[in-house]
Amino acid sequence: MKYSSLMALGSITEGPNKQNFLQIIIQAFQNLMAMFSDQNQKIREAISWVMSRISEHHSDLLTNNQIINQFMEKIIQGL
């Protein structure tokens, strides 16, 4: 179910109103970051893809210092 939800989220990143979508992502950000530590490899791959799509289409999210710091920490841990 997590995997399907992430795939759906990643698939719709291009279409919605940027401001409305950013508010939803900011509210869910902590849960999304937690998925980088999921035991299931497919979930970790999917959240990576979702965050790449969000970064591509909603880069405004990455102007928030707290969010970018947490996101970069997860990227570094993943490497």
Residue 72 pLDDT: 86
Whole-structure pTM value: 0.82
Domain ranges for the chain = 2-78
Rounded Cα–Cα distance for residues 47 and 6 (Å): 6
* Beta strand extents in the chain (DSSP E only): none
Instruction: Using the predicted structure, report yes or no on whether residue 35 has a pLDDT greater than 90.
Output: yes
Torsion of CA 48, 54, 55, 59, to 10 degrees: -160
Residue pair 74/33 in contact (Cβ under 8 Å)? The answer is yes
Mean local confidence (pLDDT), 19-45:
89
Per the prediction, the chain carries an average pLDDT of 87
**Is the pLDDT reported for residue 62 higher than 90?**
no
The model's confidence at residue 76, banded by pLDDT at 50, 70 and 90, is confident
Query: Can you read off the two tokens belonging to residue 52?
Result: 């790449």
Whether residue 44 has pLDDT greater than 90: yes
